[in-house]
Chain A
Amino acid sequence: MKSAGVRVARTSTVGSAVATIRHGLHGARSTSLNLIKVLRANPLTLIGFIVVLFISVTALLVVVVPPVSQALLGRAISIAPYDPNALLPCPVVGNSTVCAQPPSAEHFFGTDRSGRDVFSRVLVALPLHLAIGFSVAGFSLLFGGGLGLIGGFWDKPWTIGGVVSLTIMRITDVFLAFPSLVLALAIAATLGRGTIPCVLAILLTWWPYYVRLTRGEVLAVKHQPYVVASRSAGVSEGRILFRHVLRNILEPLVVYFTMDVGTVLVVFSTISFIGIGVPPEVPEWGNMVSAYGDYLLLFPWMVVFPGLAIFVTVLAFSLLGDGLRDILDPRSRRALTQAAIPATSVASSAVRSEA
């Protein structure tokens, strides 16, 4: 298909150009093909996509393999080479035992001061992080985004919708008045240690940003001529909201959501790092960085590898979010998926139609 496009760009016969449009359109209709083309055109998005895919599959394997193998083989096989909480026997060097071992073929990321395998701990923490990132950002997207849609679309003063949207926005303002991390820390500290309180704390502070974002986008789109035009065509308000307004603001929302998965993850780790998040025995990246931060120069592997895990995950989601913008925008999508943009051929068919 690509070669056909290039060929037509060189020849200028209208007939074959129109044929290419059809050809190209046929291909562009399948989204998966689209995705591949966009990924090919943007290497950074490709990297982000591959890493996110790799991380997700790994996380899934970590969760799924033990129970499945338990059911099929009668014994649980873990993806992690060691039990993340098992204290491995420490080798004796000279006349003292040294539990902290540097990375080796046996322990990819070394072991920590209690003799636990760092690689296993980093690996086991992965599903927890992904689940929290997706669920917090996802809930915020649905809840905050929904409130933002209502607040932006029905905002005529002195109507029921206007009062509701005013209330939504002022409550949102109250939440936004606090720095979200500080508020999350305060809530987490109040609720006590543990994964659930920590997630709740982030949830409570996270959705207002989506309300703001969505409302702003709705306000920008809802007076666009095409919305007024569809209204003049007799389209009902609900259909306008979902089909014309929501569809056109979906792109910034999805991009923001994707990048946000990484941000949630950082905040979650931060809360644990400060020491009011998940209990210390739970394998968690922020926890691990916090626990051995003091030994950064002595035993760098204990800190660097969990930190690197955070870094890579967040970066991957950011890169993917960037690329999603191109995939979702019909303009750049067509430009990216077709070697030759058939602008001239469309113009020539327009000329023909006038003739």
Chain B
Amino acid sequence: MVDSVLRIENLSVDYEVGAGTFHALRDVSLEMTPGRVAGIVGETGCGKSTLAHAIPRLLREPPARVRRGKVWFRGIDVLALPRWKLPLVRGTGISMIFQEPINSLNPAYRIYDQLVEAVRIRKMRETGKTPGVLPSLEPHDYSTGASPKASEALTRPLLPSPADRKRLHLTRDRDAHRADVLEYLRLVRINDPETILDLYPHELSGGMRQRIMIAMALSEKPSLLIADEPTSALDVTIQAQVLTLMKELMEEVRTSILFISHDLGVIAEMADDVGVMYAGHLVEFGPVAEVYSRPRHPYTKALLRSVPRQYKDDGPLPSLPGSVPNLSHLPSGAHFIRVVRSPDRSAPRNRVPVSKRQKGL
């Protein structure tokens, strides 16, 4: 397959906790083409965030462990890279927006000092002063094996040469990138960015912090942006603003986005393709219009049924009974089962197999 930014092959991730092994991701395969937005939906505990963190290898290991599978990012086998080379792929290659805007900014530094770090990383890489994957590299043809160009960027020495270091010294000036940083703050529609630059994170609201996180991720101009529930911690009005903003930004900065959310409406709004996850499986993946109008997997059907409709009075809101089964003892073969507990929350009353594993998924 030609032209993919990201290709995930049979990725399986386990969490080894005291109680046993939890299979958080099971054989997830996914392919993303440049400039498209792929959404991932699923309920709590289905492995969405694990998937998001596994791609740039940000999982906490231990307890997490990648059991098998491959993550190809523009021809780079991310899972095979030595740890010290990972920073070269992250940032300008794969960047991420996190769920918690409250803690995602370092409380010890002013906004400027944090934003400038991202801008500086990109500038240094663009000028070749430090190695790293750059967005300008063409998409990779997988039939030819590993990408020489992308790999070449990773084999340059980690430390700049003495001559480069001399030039680097000039850019260490605190205000060297001020104009760039201001530009990105304006891009995320922050008013009076001059003032905001000098504030500490705790002096800003959650919505503003999330917009700064977005500005930070975008200022590196990544090839792939992973947005892990970027609006879940925000209230509805701010959420709408941030989503509108992200949509506008997608058109301004052409980046492939992996948008993770538990909100079907948000995905419908944002994404071109949608993947539905359940209990660690990616049960369905396809263009949004197709999946939403003709869902094939019973879980997708059930999920879509439980979306409230304002204009139709069709009795009580349908919902899925029970919760996701325990991921350490998932019966093999069964793809979609629910654990239903009696109202007093005692032991599971029954496990309801809803469907058997479907062929071809």
> Which residues of A come within 8 Å of B, CB atoms?
18, 21-22, 25, 156-157, 223-226, 228-237, 244, 247-248, 330-331, 334, 342-343, 346-347, 349-350, 352-354
**Distance to closest chain B CB from A18 (angstroms):** 6
Residue of A nearest to B89 (CB): A234
**B34 to chain A: closest CB distance in Å?**
20
Q: Is the CB of A233 within 8 A of B103?
A: no
Chain A residues with Cβ under 8 A from B58's Cβ? 228, 231-232
What is the chain A residue whose CB lies nearest that of B197? A25
Q: Point out the residue from A25, A247, A353 that lies within 8 Å of B191, measured CB to CB.
A: A353
**Please, which residue of chain B has its CB at the minimum distance from the CB of A353?**
B191
User: How many Å from the CB of B254 to the closest CB on chain A?
Assistant: 19
B323 to nearest A CB, angstroms?
26
Does residue B56 face the partner (Cβ distance < 8 Å to A)?
yes
The answer on a CB contact under 8 Å between B87 and A157 is: no
B interface vs A, CB < 8 Å?
Answer: 56, 58, 60-62, 83-84, 87-96, 98, 100, 103-109, 117-118, 121, 132, 158, 189-192, 195-196, 198-200, 202-205, 207-208, 213, 216-217, 220, 241
Measured in the bound complex, the distance between the Cα atoms of B216 and A236 in whole Å is 16
Contact assessment for B220 and A233 in the assembled complex, using a CB-CB cutoff below 8 Å: yes
Beyond A228-B98, A343-B203, whether A233 also contacts B121 by CB under 8 A is yes
Q: How close is A73's CB to chain B, nearest CB, in angstroms?
A: 47
- Is the pair B192, A353 in contact by a Cβ cutoff of 8 Å? yes
B202 closest partner in A (C-beta): A331
A352: B residues at CB distance < 8 A: 191-192
Q: Find the B residue at minimum CB distance from A352.
A: B191
Q: Cβ of B200 and Cβ of A331 under 8 Å apart?
A: yes
Complex Cα distance A156/B189, Å?
A: 41
* Cα of A225 to Cα of B106 in the assembled complex, Å: 9
Q: Distance (Å) between the CB of A40 and the closest chain B CB?
A: 21
Picked from B93, B98, B196, the residue with its CB within 8 Å of the CB of A229 is B98
Q: Is the interface of B mostly helix, strand, loop or mixed?
A: loop
Known: A234-B87, A354-B241. A229 touches B192 (CB 8 A): no
Give the complex CA separation of A25 and B216 in angstroms.
23
Given A232-B90, A234-B90, A235-B121, also A330-B100 (CB < 8 A)? no
Taking the closest CB of chain A, its distance from the CB of B176, in whole angstroms, is: 17
A/B interface sample: 13 pairs, CB < 8 A: A18-B195, A229-B216, A232-B58, A234-B93, A234-B95, A234-B132, A235-B87, A330-B107, A330-B202, A331-B202, A346-B203, A347-B205, A352-B191
Q: With a CB–CB cut-off of 8 A, which chain A residues contact B98?
A: 225, 228-229, 232
Q: Chain A's nearest CB lies how many Å from the CB of B158?
A: 8
Contacts of A244 in B (CB 8 A): 106
Return the contact of B207 from the options A22, A25, A248, A350 (Cβ within 8 A).
A350
Smallest CB-CB A-B distances: 10 pairs: A234-B91, A353-B191, A232-B96, A225-B103, A234-B90, A226-B106, A225-B104, A229-B104, A236-B87, A25-B198
Asked if B106 contacts A233 (CB within 8 A), the reply is no
Residues of B within 8 A of A233 (CB): 90-91, 95, 117-118, 121, 216-217, 220
A233-B216, A234-B220, A354-B241 are contacts. A334–B200 as well, Cβ < 8 Å?
yes
Which one, B87, B105, B199, contacts A226 given CB within 8 A?
Answer: B105
Q: Is the CB of B107 within 8 A of A230?
A: no
Q: Are B192 and A234 in contact (CB under 8 A)?
A: no
Q: How far is the CA of A224 from the CA of B190 in the complex (A)?
A: 25
Residues of chain B within 8 A of A330, CB atoms compared: 107-108, 200, 202
Closest to B105 in A: A226
A347 CA to B220 CA in the complex, in Å?
Answer: 28
Query: Given the interface contacts A25-B198, A224-B103, A350-B207, does A18 sit within 8 Å of B192 by beta carbon?
Result: yes
Residues of A within 8 A of B118 (CB): 233
Which of A230, A233, A352 counts the most B-chain CB atoms under 10 A from its CB? A233
Q: Which residue of B lies closest to A349 (CB)?
A: B192
